[in-house]
Amino acid sequence: MLRMRGLLIASIVLAALAGGIYWSNKHEEAEAKKPPAGEPPKILMLPSVELQKFEIRKIGVAPVIVDHQSGQWQMTAPKPLATFLGPVGEVITALASVTADRLVEDKAEDLSEFGLSSPALEIIATRKDGKTSELLIGEETPTGRSYFAKLAGDPRIFTISSSTRASFDKTWNDFRDKHLMTFDQNKVTGIEMNAKGEDFAFGKNNQNEWQIVKPGPMRADGGQFSDLMSALSSATMETTGAEDEEKKAGEAFASGSAFAAAKVSDSSGTQELTIRKGKDQSYYAKSSVVAGAYKVPASLAEGLNKSASGFRNKKLFDFDWDNPIKIDVRDGANRAIYDRSGEKWFLAGKRMDTAAMSDLIAKLRDTAATAFPDKGFTASVLDIAVTSSDGKRVETVDFSKAGDGYIARRENEPGLYRLDAAVVAEFQKALSAVKPAAPQPSPANAKKK
């Protein structure tokens, strides 16, 4: 009997110990999950990979819904529109971790005193599994710079920073993609332009370089063409989202005068952009990508309103920083052929001064036209042929005297180049300064010194 009683007591003690260990472990687990002391509480944590769509509601405004469809974020309300990833990404990032400044109340009796009974701003996030989380944002706190907020179904009231609120406080116009063209810059095959009353086009030559192909083959200035490509790819509308804005822009476009137009072709097809100048001196555009007409920045319109000559390469030579290996010059009755071997230049087997040759090359590289005349070339008085790219590129330019300046032409190119007399004089001066290199001391003389 005593033995049985001892066993019973031991069982009770053992059970108590087991229960104590269990609750101790549970307590430690709960404590481990608690945020560190002093760390702001989290209101909502929703990883971006779990988010399917979000809805933003404001009092007196139609809800905005952005949904992830076919691998892209698309606006489905108040109207179906393509979205711009920047503001969409801001909301997604904010939803991933909504952090409170502080906990105001564990359980509020009256939500109206916080502006949360009819919140000015609501964000409803839907996960891919269909579950939703609703963040309510109410009035600004009396001290300012923060707002009252709570999660639907959670009795606690928090404050959040004004920057957190701003991440969610967006309109449908903030989310819409305002780009007027969507071509892939890396896959563009051609660009057609109409500006300054001219029709011209760009294409690639055999060296895969962009050039003007219409009205005739002419070299294009790389910087100017790059600016054109950038302007077209970043062309955006100016819109506030006002209800009658598109109607007014359409009327202004219809009554406006032609200003500039572009057609861009890539692997997916051709997109068109037409810009007109309105009677109010503002600019309006229509795109084949987006329905309707829109006001556009003056910088876009004026940047496209450039003639073909504005895109031409004014430089006479293309060798740029690719050091030439041969320079053949005929100046009147005189002719000189300079050949490079390694870093040394030679004329008829005699080594020439390196600094003087470098100056000559720099003058050639910088020789640029001031205009592009249609005619005026007569007899050549100066011929220059530069071989570069390890012999793969040979550029021949002839110069003809024309009034107080010169007109030049490149071999196998129909266009002409007008140059100031001072430009040619600078080159001729550099040419006359080329002289043999100073004699190098012999090893024996160097040793004596």
Mean pLDDT, range 68-85, rounded to an integer: 94
Phi and psi, residue 124, nearest 5°: -110, 115
Return the exposure string of 391-425: e unless at least 16 CB atoms fall within 10 Å of the residue's CB, then b: eebebebbbbbbeebbbbbbeebebbbbbeeebbe
Mean pLDDT, range 220-244, rounded to an integer: 94
Asked whether residue 16 carries a pLDDT value surpassing 90, the answer given is no
- pLDDT category at 225 given cuts 50, 70, 90 is very high
- pLDDT category at 17 given cuts 50, 70, 90 is very low
Task: Output the average pLDDT for the chain.
Answer: 90
Instruction: Give the bridge partners for 196, in sequence order.
Output: none
Indicate the fold that domain 326-432 takes in CATH: Immunoglobulin-like (2.60.40)
Q: Diameter of the chain by CA atoms?
A: 137
Strands of 70-171 (E only): list them.
Answer: 72-77, 81-82, 98-99, 102-105, 121-127, 132-140, 146-151, 157-161
- pLDDT category at 445 given cuts 50, 70, 90 is low
Asked whether residue 330 carries a pLDDT value surpassing 50, the answer given is yes
Mean pLDDT, range 110-129, rounded to an integer: 96
Asked whether residue 230 carries a pLDDT value surpassing 90, the answer given is yes
Q: Class for domain 43-175, per CATH?
A: mainly beta
User: What gap in Å lies between CA 286 and CA 277, rounded to an integer?
Assistant: 12
CA angle 440, 364, 306 (to 5 degrees): 160
pLDDT at 292: 93
Asked whether residue 37 carries a pLDDT value surpassing 80, the answer given is no
Evaluate the omega torsion of the peptide bond into residue 215 and state whether it is cis, within 30 degrees of 0: yes
pLDDT at 323: 86
Helix axes 354-366, 421-432, angle to 10 degrees: 160
Mean pLDDT, range 395-423, rounded to an integer: 95
pLDDT at 14: 45
Lowest mean pLDDT among 163-167, 319-323, 442-446: 442-446
pLDDT at 7: 43
- pLDDT category at 10 given cuts 50, 70, 90 is very low
> Tens of pLDDT along 183-192?
999 999 999 9
Radius of gyration of the chain (CA): 37
- Locate CATH 2.60.40 in the chain: 43-175, 326-432
Asked whether residue 19 carries a pLDDT value surpassing 70, the answer given is no
Q: In what order do the strands lie in the sheet with 218-219?
A: 218-219, 210-214, 198-204, 188-195, 257-266, 269-277, 283-287, 293-296
Residue 175: how many other CB atoms lie within 10 Å:
24
Asked whether residue 38 carries a pLDDT value surpassing 90, the answer given is no
Asked if 386 and 324 touch (Cβ cutoff 8 Å), the reply is yes
Closest by CA to 178, choosing from 229, 242, 240, is: 240
- pTM, entire model: 0.77
- 108: number of CA atoms within 13 Å, CB side? 22
Asked whether residue 78 carries a pLDDT value surpassing 50, the answer given is yes
Return the exposure string of 218-231: e unless at least 16 CB atoms fall within 10 Å of the residue's CB, then b: bbbbeeebeebbeb
pLDDT at 261: 98
- pLDDT category at 316 given cuts 50, 70, 90 is very high
pLDDT at 444: 56
pLDDT at 185: 94
- pLDDT category at 13 given cuts 50, 70, 90 is very low
pLDDT at 381: 94
Mean pLDDT, range 206-215, rounded to an integer: 91
- pLDDT category at 448 given cuts 50, 70, 90 is low
> Tens of pLDDT along 49-72?
999 999 999 999 999 999 999 999
